Structure 1
Amino acid sequence: EEEEKKEEAKPIPNTLPSHPLKDYAGQFEHPAYGKIDIELKADSLHLKFNAFEFPLKHWHYDVFQGHILEFDQDILFTFYSNKDGIIEKVGAPLEASMPEDILFTKLPPDVLSDQAYINQLLGAYDLKGLTITIDWQGGKLMATVPGQPPYELEPYKEHWFKLKGLNGYSVEFILEKGQEKAAQVKFHQPNGIFAAQRKE
């Protein structure tokens, strides 16, 4: 009697990722399991986790499949976006005993913590007659608005920082090609976007 064959999972046909492949690349971290590195090489994603390294093939929507040769095992990695449309997590069933995927949170780009890059952002900016100062205080990037306490800026994504402790508030620095300093900073708030120009 032939052993009953297990039905294999199949992807939903004719689907596409919601983002360009480069948006899925980056470093993702879990406090207990460590870091996952995902790189875009040529036209495909490659994942590295501990001693394992393998390509990721698109499965369907924002799910990609990786094959671990050492165990002859396929694993599905699911990417999740936040309300800004930014890829912020990746999940995978790395523990058979756990019913839910283990989620790794995407880390901000390393450049946002690079001192040479940060120096390009520092200075005074004019917002309709109001001077906003971006400076480096005690190892942290801070934004100071007259009459208000300084706001700590947390690295978020390329050229963007979040205002720590304020949901929905972020700043975007505009760096023009060939310029040594950011020309403008935009404050993204629930009630609109406010642009401040660098003061000479």
Structure 2
Amino acid sequence: NIIVRDLISHRTGIPRHDYSWYLFPSASKDSLLQRIQYHAPFAGLREKWYYNNFMYLVQGVIAERITGKSWEENIRERFFGPLNMSRSNLHIDELEKSTNAAFGYTVHEDGTVEKVDYYRIGGMCPAGSINSSVNEMSNWLITWINGGKFNGQQILTESYVREAMSSQMVIDASLPSAEFPDMHLANYGFAWMLSSYRGHYEVEHGGAIDGFRASTAFYPSDSIGIVILANENGSPIPSLVRKMIADRMLETEKTDWIELYNEQKKEREEAKEEAKEKVEESASRGPKSAHAPVDFIGTYTHPGYGKFEITLKDDSLYANLKLMNFYLRNKHYDVFEMFEVKDSGIDTTEQGDLYFNFSTNDAGEISAVHLNLEQALDHPLEFKRIPKTIHVDKAVMESYVGEYEVSGTTVQVYLKGSVLILYVPGQPEYEMMATEKHKFSFKTLDGFKVEFIESADHSIREMKMIQPNGTFVAKRK
């Protein structure tokens, strides 16, 4: 059984699954919680450390159940108030009303700078929705450095502070190098990363969201705390500046961290380019998809993530998510490249690493799309296709109702409310969905269809039952 210690030290065996909340946001904490049961693990419980934002959501909801108050109320009453964090807030609506609020930006490869919209995190707020400042976050670090006290008031228990900054899980080996023999250790406490920095015990954690990045650290043996906030996507500044300040305040040997970063960045870019060239050399481009674009349209759904639509416009396919849309270009077979649709248009030179890989059922119809949304897993996630449905008037639906005989068996078609049901003796009821005139798919049976045949007098006399193993005609009784 998973306990709270497992949640806060990230040892549940479930990887991040961040795209579940980022691409499929919800304002409901409970709705997001329900998704976790469908998140595939990559390791057993307590076997490995792996950061997971959903575990902070779980802790926030547990606190709500215990206190009878919302997560927001708990944060304001237990931390913002006692720590004099009067300007800090919890939601973008509050941030936008505050004075001197920072905007986030992203720097493109060509050096151009673009303003980024605030990301509205919704129900995932316990994982990272606090908007604050260096001044007010400093009070949070003072509390930790002082054993949980601020202005003489015990905010956190001393026992919790000690455990939280003690090793609970090993992140990785992180052995000392010849260049930096006094920098080693990569462990995790309770929501803190622990390491030895130049022989000093460092307690640190970072975070990032669209247009912003942060690093908060303290050195308990030295009574020093550092908060670095940057308003740039993926910025290295928080980590670099933290080290530069730490070197000065801890009076250690100075290192040119910026020069070292640039050297490492160059090496990473060269390795990435080399790997890309190898992939392109080995990649075989096969023939284009044999399916017409219209065959791909529909709703695609995964219980641990959510659903999105694939639509057709001017012979082009688009994947439409809640916060963003993507143009899909056929690479080969039923594999499609994706390009984000922006206000400025579609830039097909900005290709990501994600591909839409469609699969078919036994009838040769598009039944699902496979997406590599979680790198820790050795398999892609399958989003099942729900064919596009049409509305059918009740009078037309009633014209299908009756008994039909096929191979000596009588099957029934009847309405349950506004839903058309097919019943075969000895089997469950099958709910049908209208996809075209007189044509239906089954909600729970992939590759099975029904087509009602209209006679010359416009009455329904036959029903075709289309299955992977053949088509069977049922005569109306």
Q: Does 1:152 align with 2:424?
A: no
Name the CA shift for 1:82/1:171 in 2 (closer, same or farther; >3 Å). closer
Corresponding residue number in structure 2 for 1:85: 364
Corresponding residue number in structure 2 for 1:187: 465
Q: Does 1:121 align with 2:373?
A: no
Q: Please point out which of 17, 22, 25 is paired with 2:294.
A: 22
Measured after TM superposition, the shift of residue 198 of structure 1 is 3.7
User: Which segment is superposed worse, 178-187 or 13-22?
Assistant: 178-187
State how far apart, in whole Å, the 2-side matches of 1:127 and 1:153 are.
17
Letter in 2 for 1:153: Y
Measured after TM superposition, the shift of residue 54 of structure 1 is 1.9
Structure 1 residue runs without a partner (length 5+): none
Measured after TM superposition, the shift of residue 38 of structure 1 is 0.3
Q: Is the 8 A contact 1:88 1:106 kept in 2?
A: yes
Measured after TM superposition, the shift of residue 76 of structure 1 is 0.8
Equivalent residues in 2 for 1:161-176, closer than 5 Å = 161-162=441-442, 170=448, 172-176=450-454
User: Which segment is superposed worse, 76-85 or 156-165?
Assistant: 156-165
Letter in 1 for 2:299: Q
State how far apart, in whole Å, the 2-side matches of 1:91 and 1:191 are.
25
Corresponding residue number in structure 2 for 1:76: 355
Q: Is the 8 A contact 1:126 1:132 kept in 2?
A: yes
State how far apart, in whole Å, the 2-side matches of 1:178 and 1:22 are.
30
Q: Is the 8 A contact 2:431 2:443 kept in 1?
A: yes
Q: Is the 8 A contact 1:122 1:134 kept in 2?
A: yes
Measured after TM superposition, the shift of residue 13 of structure 1 is 3.3
Name the CA shift for 1:153/1:78 in 2 (closer, same or farther; >3 Å). same
State how far apart, in whole Å, the 1-side matches of 2:461 and 2:293 are.
29
Q: Does 1:197 align with 2:469?
A: no
Q: Please point out which of 62, 66, 69 is paired with 2:338.
A: 66
Give percent identity, aligned residues only.
Answer: 29
Q: Per-residue CA shift, 1:19-77, capped at 9, x if unaligned?
A: 1111111100011211121001111101112211021001111100112367x552211
Name the CA shift for 1:164/1:26 in 2 (closer, same or farther; >3 Å). closer
* More helix per residue: 2
Name the CA shift for 1:178/1:156 in 2 (closer, same or farther; >3 Å). same
Larger radius of gyration: 2
Q: Does 1:31 align with 2:303?
A: yes
Q: Please point out which of 32, 40, 60 is paired with 2:312.
A: 40
- TM-score, with structure 2 as normaliser: 0.34
Match of 2:337, SS state, is strand
State how far apart, in whole Å, the 2-side matches of 1:37 and 1:20 are.
17
Match of 2:413, SS state, is strand
State how far apart, in whole Å, the 1-side matches of 2:320 and 2:389 are.
17
User: Which segment is superposed worse, 33-42 or 189-198?
Assistant: 189-198
Structure 2 residue runs without a partner (length 5+): 1-262, 343-349
Q: Does 1:105 align with 2:368?
A: no
Measured after TM superposition, the shift of residue 120 of structure 1 is 4.0
Match of 1:110, SS state, is coil
Number of aligned residue pairs: give it.
193
RMSD: 3.8
State how far apart, in whole Å, the 1-side matches of 2:455 and 2:325 are.
36
Letter in 2 for 1:63: V
Measured after TM superposition, the shift of residue 150 of structure 1 is 6.8
Corresponding residue number in structure 1 for 2:84: none
Q: Does 1:54 align with 2:339?
A: no
Name the CA shift for 1:191/1:64 in 2 (closer, same or farther; >3 Å). closer
State how far apart, in whole Å, the 1-side matches of 2:444 and 2:341 are.
42
Letter in 2 for 1:123: G
Q: Per-residue CA shift, 1:166-200, capped at 9, x if unaligned?
A: x98x452234499765442123468754312345x
Name the CA shift for 1:54/1:129 in 2 (closer, same or farther; >3 Å). closer
Higher relative contact order (CA 8 A, sep 6+): 1
Measured after TM superposition, the shift of residue 144 of structure 1 is 5.0
* More strand per residue: 1
State how far apart, in whole Å, the 1-side matches of 2:374 and 2:301 are.
16
Letter in 2 for 1:152: E
